[in-house]
Amino acid sequence: MKNNRTFLEKLLDGAEVEWKTLDEIFHLKNGYTPSKGVKEYWENGSIPWFRMEDIRENGRILNTALQKVSESAVKGGKLSPQIQLLLQPLQLLVNTL
């Protein structure tokens, strides 16, 4: 007999949960990357620029960034005074059990 429960049903195993959308529990903000073609943005910068490479190199808790950008690179943009959670867009794979 085939088990027709979904992966999520198996994961929760009957537990009661309260569903919320991400914007109900996080302040969502999109970002941008300054042009790599403008050298002044990436040379002698003082503003930490966190990337997924930082996580690969330094682990999950980041205190410093591998790269820094200049103030002109973010002029007109809004800087986050402190980043508590960084989400990288990723491709989701559906696991059918």
pLDDT score at 53: 86
In a domain, 95, yes or no: no
In a domain, 25, yes or no: yes
Regarding predicted confidence, which is higher, 22 or 85? 22
pTM for the structure as a whole: 0.58
Confidence of residue 82 (pLDDT cuts 50, 70, 90): low
In a domain, 84, yes or no: no
In a domain, 50, yes or no: yes
Tokens encoding 61: 């808790």
Looking at this protein, which amino acid is placed at residue 5?
A: R
- CATH classification of the domain holding 55: 3.90.220.20
Total domains in the fold of the chain: 1
In a domain, 62, yes or no: yes
For residue 46, give its domain range: 7-73
Tell me the three state secondary structure of residue 62: coil
pLDDT score at 88: 59
Note whether 25 and 37 are within 8 A (CB): no
Q: What is the tens place of the pLDDT at every residue in 67-76?
A: 999 999 988 7
